[in-house]
């Protein structure tokens, strides 16, 4: 049996009782470690589980999936995924490969940022499609996300923006020379995301949002030091949300007065918040 | 401190380690029991937690919130919510009331149907806004959900439809006579939902979807007997998915060939699936 086990969002105690039972009895335990991270390291997980964990990087999952699945017809293999196993990243290739090999699959769900973001106080019913923001470079500033946000904005919906992480990436030079030397990990901040969004709006100039559009920055959702900040995109370009992981919500117009009360509590500046709110956001009460 | 603790979706072992620690040490433990249900009863939870649990019905949460919050300035009160505390239903009134009273609040996230539905193999990125389907009556067939689906369909997105549950409802007669006699609980099935959707399409006739549109029925997501069925809406009106809870996904056009492979596996009928797929759904590969 292949078990896909969600770990939740913050630390080693966010695994479910059901998930922990699987981890304790599985033959081998893999930790998917390239699409998201917990806020604790592998050693802490191993101490908590009382057993060793094999880190599965992108190469292993995408090319070495048969290695992961080896023996799973007879024994239990646990594949641990930060968040929910079918949350932001679906490991559908791995599952399809397991199916081909006649391996049974079970999923143990857990919190995903895509639902836990509800902690910001906005109804999940009013979120449109989620988008991803990658790190821009001098020459590569993909803006397809902007089209998705435009669709959401046009029908009044909020957009959850998931921010890029770069783990175990090689520099172009090292990649070309075949040297397995990896850059230090990078995690996009709310401030970087807000700046990139404004950069794209400047380029595309379709008025989907602007410097005084309201957004919420979220950091370390589910952790004891979870932090939420509401403000204009311009304000958020200067906000320091602390350690990763960060996410951002661009506010849609379909909001409720109660939601306004809720998010105003963590506004960078109540006055700019109110000004932007009355200018751009209708409320139904 | 008020702890909002997510219970996940299926049974008593879906709580997280962190959540269970809170439940074990809290002064009082409430179980929100009217917007969703676990697949096990209160007694099973109490046996697992080793303590008693107070069932919080709608009346208590909406009118008696001060009773729930009593003493929470000094002691820990746990408010258990099936799924994620801020998932399909945000208990924002309770949280705002706690804030007014100067009570600190912590949330312990867990799986929500809004992310766990990813187990159907469709990327969550391609879901639009979620809608709710209520039980139609002879005289009341609200179709505002249809407008929401229309928006999603127009931009190629999937729609998750959450199905009505009626717990502790009074008949009109008992309500008028002030008799606290409650009807047996009712849980909408995938078949009922599909039939109501086709009923609305007949009424509204805007061609948002039709009898041969593809959808996925999901039952008991996260439980050992989780069931997924793909088929046309017409086929789904006749499908028996077993015990509650059920949900439905109306397929959008923004699908990937890999996703097709994944869902075809649980098609009611491979031939009608293929016919509808090639007629209505583009795939990007």
What tens digit of pLDDT does each residue of B122-147 get? 999 999 999 999 999 999 999 999 99
- The size of chain A, in residues, is 285
Q: Which helix (H) or strand (E) holds B51?
A: none
CA-to-CA distance for B277 and B257, rounded, in angstroms? 11
Over residues B157-171, mean pLDDT: 91
Q: Report CB contact under 8 Å: B115, A119.
A: no
Instruction: Summarize the annotated binding site of A for S-adenosyl-L-methionine as residue ranges.
Output: 9, 84, 87, 112-113, 163, 221, 246
φ and ψ at residue A239, rounded to 5 degrees: -85, 145
Q: From B110, which residue of chain A is nearest by alpha-carbon distance?
A: A111
> B118 to chain A, minimum CA–CA distance in Å?
5
How far are the Cα atoms of A127, A175, A281, B31, B150 from residue A251, in angstroms, in the given order? 9, 39, 9, 31, 21
> A263 to chain B, minimum CA–CA distance in Å?
11
Q: From B157, which residue of chain A is nearest by alpha-carbon distance?
A: A129
More confident of the two residues B187 and A182:
B187
pLDDT for position A38: 86
Cβ atoms A77, A26 nearer than 8 A: yes
pLDDT for position B258: 85
Residue B192's pLDDT band (cuts 50, 70, 90)? very high
Kindly write down the DSSP assignment for every residue of A25-52, as one continuous string.
H-SEEEEE-SS---SS-HHHHHHHHTS-
Kindly write down the DSSP assignment for every residue of B130-173, as one continuous string.
-EEEPPP-SS----HHHHHHHHHHHTT-BEEEEEPEE-SPPPHH
CA-to-CA distance for A63 and B15, rounded, in angstroms? 34
Question: Residues of chain A whose pLDDT is less than 50?
Answer: 285
Residues in A closer than 8 angstroms to B87, CB to CB, are 115, 118, 124
CA-to-CA distance for A12 and A9, rounded, in angstroms? 9
CA-to-CA distance for A118 and A113, rounded, in angstroms? 9
Give the list of residues 6+ apart from residue B196 with CB closer than 8 angstroms, or none: B133, B136, B141
CA-to-CA distance for A168 and A182, rounded, in angstroms? 5
Q: Report CB contact under 8 Å: A128, B128.
A: yes
pLDDT for position A36: 82
Q: Which helix (H) or strand (E) holds B61?
A: helix B58-63
pLDDT for position B282: 67
pLDDT for position B60: 87
pLDDT for position B62: 84
Q: What is the torsion angle, in degrees rounded to the nearest 10, for the CA atoms of residue B103, residue B5, residue B119 and residue A227?
A: 30
Residues in A closer than 8 angstroms to B99, CB to CB, are 265
Q: Report CB contact under 8 Å: A262, B88.
A: no
> Given CA atoms A22, A27, A30, A31 in this order, what sign does their dihedral have?
positive
The burial class, CB within 10 Å (0-12 / 13-18 / 19+), for A47 is exposed
Percent of the residues in chain B that have a pLDDT greater than 70, as a whole number: 98
The pLDDT tens digits of the residues spanning B224-245 come to: 999 999 999 999 999 999 999 9
Give the one of B16, B130, B222 whose C-beta lies nearest to A8's C-beta.
Answer: B16
Q: From A5, which residue of chain B is nearest by alpha-carbon distance?
A: B222
Q: Which domains does chain B show, CATH number per domain?
A: 2-111 (3.40.1010.10), 114-281 (3.30.950.10)
Kindly write down the DSSP assignment for every residue of chain A, as one continuous string.
-EEEEE-BSSSGGGSBHHHHHHHHH-SEEEEE-SS---SS-HHHHHHHHTS--EEE-HHHHHH-HHHHHTTTTTS-EEEEESB-TTSSS--HHHHHHHHHTT--EEEE----HHHHGGGGS--GGGB---EEEPPP-SS----HHHHHHHHHHHTT-BEEEEEPEE-SPPPHHHHHTT----PPPEE--HHHHHHHHHHHHHHH---S--TT-EEEEEESTTSTT-EEEEEEHHHHTT----SSPEEEEE--S-EEHHHHHHHHTTBS-HHHHHHHHHHH--EE-
pLDDT for position A282: 67
DSSP state of B183: P
Q: Establish whether B163 is an annotated binding residue.
A: yes
* Residue among A4, A47, A129, A134 with most chain B CBs within 10 A, to mutate: A129
Task: Tell whether the model's pLDDT for residue B91 goes beyond 90.
Answer: no
> A264 to chain B, minimum CA–CA distance in Å?
12
CA-to-CA distance for A79 and A61, rounded, in angstroms? 10
CA-to-CA distance for B5 and B2, rounded, in angstroms? 9
More confident of the two residues B90 and B214:
B214
The pLDDT tens digits of the residues spanning B13-69 come to: 999 999 999 999 999 999 998 888 888 889 999 999 999 999 998 888 888 899 999
Cβ atoms A266, A184 nearer than 8 A: no
Residue B191's pLDDT band (cuts 50, 70, 90)? very high
DSSP state of B184: P
Q: Establish whether B263 is an annotated binding residue.
A: no
Region of A73 (left: φ > 0; alpha: ψ -120 to 50; beta: rest) is alpha
pTM over 0.90: yes
Q: Report CB contact under 8 Å: A121, B259.
A: no
Residue B264's closest CA among B212, B219, B228, B227? B228
Give the list of residues 6+ apart from residue B193 with CB closer than 8 angstroms, or none: B133, B161, B163, B236, B246, B248
* Residue among B13, B36, B100, B111 with most chain A CBs within 10 A, to mutate: B111
> A125 to chain B, minimum CA–CA distance in Å?
5
Give the one of A15, A83, A106 whose C-beta lies nearest to B16's C-beta.
Answer: A15
pLDDT for position A284: 57
Q: Report CB contact under 8 Å: A109, B9.
A: yes
How would you classify the pairing of strands B54-56 and B28-32?
parallel
Region of A120 (left: φ > 0; alpha: ψ -120 to 50; beta: rest) is alpha
CA-to-CA distance for A122 and A111, rounded, in angstroms? 17
pLDDT for position B183: 86
């Amino acid at each position: 049996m292949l078990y896909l086990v969600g770990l939740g969002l913050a630390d080693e105690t966010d695994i479910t009782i059901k998930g922990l039972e699987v981890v304790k009895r599985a033959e081998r335990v893999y930790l998917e470690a390239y699409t998201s991270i917990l806020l604790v390291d592998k050693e802490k997980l191993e101490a908590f589980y009382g057993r060793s964990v094999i880190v599965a990087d992108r190469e292993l999952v995408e090319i070495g999936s048969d290695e992961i699945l080896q023996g799973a017809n007879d024994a239990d293999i646990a594949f641990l995924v930060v968040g929910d196993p079918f949350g932001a990243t679906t490991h559908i290739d791995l599952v399809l490969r397991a199916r081909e090999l006649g391996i049974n699959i079970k999923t143990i769900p857990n919190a995903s940022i895509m639902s836990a973001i509800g902690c910001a106080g906005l109804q999940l019913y009013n979120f449109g499609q989620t988008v991803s923001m990658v790190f821009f470079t001098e020459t590569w500033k993909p803006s397809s996300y902007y089209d998705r946000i435009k669709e959401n904005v046009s029908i009044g919906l909020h957009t959850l923006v998931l921010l890029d992480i770069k783990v175990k990436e090689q520099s172009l030079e090292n990649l070309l020379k075949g040297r397995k030397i990896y850059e230090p990990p990078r995690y996009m901040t709310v401030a970087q995301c807000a700046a990139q969004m404004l950069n794209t709006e400047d380029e595309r100039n379709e008025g989907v949002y602007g410097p005084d559009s309201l957004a919420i920055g979220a950091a370390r959702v589910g952790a004891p030091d979870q932090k939420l900040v509401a403000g204009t995109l311009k304000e958020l370009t200067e906000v320091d949300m602390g350690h990763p992981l960060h996410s951002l919500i661009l506010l849609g117009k379909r909001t409720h007065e109660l939601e306004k009360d809720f998010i105003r509590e963590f506004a960078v500046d109540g006055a700019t918040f109110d000004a932007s709110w009355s200018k751009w956001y209708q409320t139904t009460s």
